[in-house]
Amino acid sequence: MQGTPIHMASTSHKILATGVGRRKTSVASVRITSGPGEIVVNGKPASKYFPGEISKTRYQSPFTVAGVAKKYSVSAKVFGGGYEGQLDSLVLGISRGLVDINEKFKTLLRNAGLLTRDSRKRQRRMIGMGGKSRRKRQSPKR
């Protein structure tokens, strides 16, 4: 992935803030610029990359909570993980970028739970458990 250009939402505006969000195994690198409020993820509009109305409300929630909808544009590079992990990492990256722009957003975003990193990960297999992570051996009945 090194050396691949990230498509900017608008190239005429300078980068105001950057943020990195992580969830499970996905990582989102976010650039926030001043602009009309468009969100571009991996070179596609966010509405195409994350289809659905519920996803739309989730990735726009940092802007609505901070009260700056349609004021900033976002360009993000997201990789690793699955759909939900990538969406959550994008939201965390946008929230961290907004805090870089204005420190007053921190309490609003913190109270909405958008600055908390969800540290839950998949529990790995354990030795002697029959290929599962929590399975135990069956105890003899007699």
> What residues contact 108, with CB distance under 8 A and at least 6 apart?
65, 66, 67
Q: Which domains does the chain have, with CATH numbers?
A: 15-111 (3.30.230.10)
What are the angstrom distances between the C-alpha of 34 and each of 8, 14, 16, 45, 90? 12, 7, 7, 17, 18
pLDDT band at residue 1 under the 50/70/90 scheme? very low
> What residues contact 5, with CB distance under 8 A and at least 6 apart?
none
Count of beta carbons in the 10 Å neighbourhood of residue 116: 11
pLDDT at 9: 46
What is the distance in angstroms between the CA of the first residue and the CA of the last residue of the chain? 59
Can you tell me the mean pLDDT for 25-37? 95
Provide the 8-state DSSP code for 2. T
Question: Helix, strand, or coil here: 73?
Answer: strand
pLDDT digits (tens, 9 = 90+) for 84-115: 999 999 999 999 999 999 999 999 999 999 99
What average pLDDT is seen over the chain? 89
Prediction pTM value: 0.84
Count of beta carbons in the 10 Å neighbourhood of residue 59: 21
pLDDT at 96: 96
